[in-house]
Amino acid sequence: MARATPSRATDAPRDAIALLKQDHRMVEALFDEFEDAEEQEQSQLAERICNMLTVHAQIEEEILYPAAKEVFEDEEELDLVNEANVEHQSAKDLIAKIEGMTPDDEIFEATVKVLSEYIKHHVKEEEGELFPALKKTELDLKAMGQQLAERKFALMESMGIEEEVPPAPQRKKTASRKTKTSASKARQARAGSRSKSAKNSGRSARH
């Protein structure tokens, strides 16, 4: 069953950092949605978060981190990659726990919240330290962007998951309880745009 459109991987080429940052924004938006969601919606949102993070972590581990280790010479920069790998492992442990839970589990929401905080910290380090260090190297980030995109869509295809819709531009990631109304509106809009992807409908095949 074709779900994500594989050709998307080669559309609008972006450099590696732009692609990964967009993933970060998308997962942050999903965490925001989760925080405001009804219990019924939370299960599906948690699944989307876990899927997205699984693919994102894998493409970074397969492509970005090894390339970074090859070009970094500075000990501190190499440590950034080692720390990122360790943080991925901890995130994957939390993801596995969440995937084994249902929303009526007493610690379901708390575990997603901890994952959210964890990812926030990890993303801050990637965007604040690792990515800027990579930009200073000779790495061809454009070519790597293509490689990441192709691997990302291949993994999504094999997992049977769809591409997430990027969040509306300028949406503040700090939007939380105080902006519940706008968050709810955004959620509704996104839910509308994703209605074709109702998890078990199998109606999303397109070419």
Residue in the shown chain whose Cβ atom is closest to Fe ion: 60
Residue 185's CB is within 10 A of a number of other CB atoms, namely: 12
Instruction: In angstroms, give the least distance from the CB of 119 to Fe ion.
Output: 8
Site for Fe ion in 2-31 (CB under 5 A): 20
Q: Does 162 bind Fe ion (CB under 5 A)?
A: no
- Of the pair 81, 183, the CB lying nearest Fe ion is at 81
Verify binding: residue 33, Fe ion, rule CB under 5 A. no
CB of 196 to Fe ion, least distance (A): 27
Instruction: Please say which residue, 25 or 101, places its beta carbon nearer to Fe ion.
Output: 25
Q: Considering beta carbons, is residue 20 or 148 the nearer one to Fe ion? A: 20
Contact indicator for 29, 193 with CB cutoff of 8 Å: no
CA 58-107-99 angle, to 5 degrees, is 30
* Subset of 110-129 contacting Fe ion (CB under 5 A): 126
Assess 60 for contact with Fe ion (CB under 5 A): yes
* For Fe ion, the closer CB: 21 or 171: 21
DSSP assignment of 35-73? HH--HHHHHHHHHHHHHHHHHHHHHIIIIIHHHHHHH--
Contact 27, 52 (CB under 8 A): yes
Residue 198 C-beta: closest distance to Fe ion, Å:
28
Long-range contacts of 83-89 (CB under 8 A, 24+ apart): 83/125, 84/60, 84/122, 84/125, 84/126, 84/130, 85/61, 87/118, 87/121, 87/122, 87/125, 88/57, 88/60, 88/61, 88/122
User: Which residues sit at the interface with Fe ion, rule CB under 5 A?
Assistant: 20, 60, 126
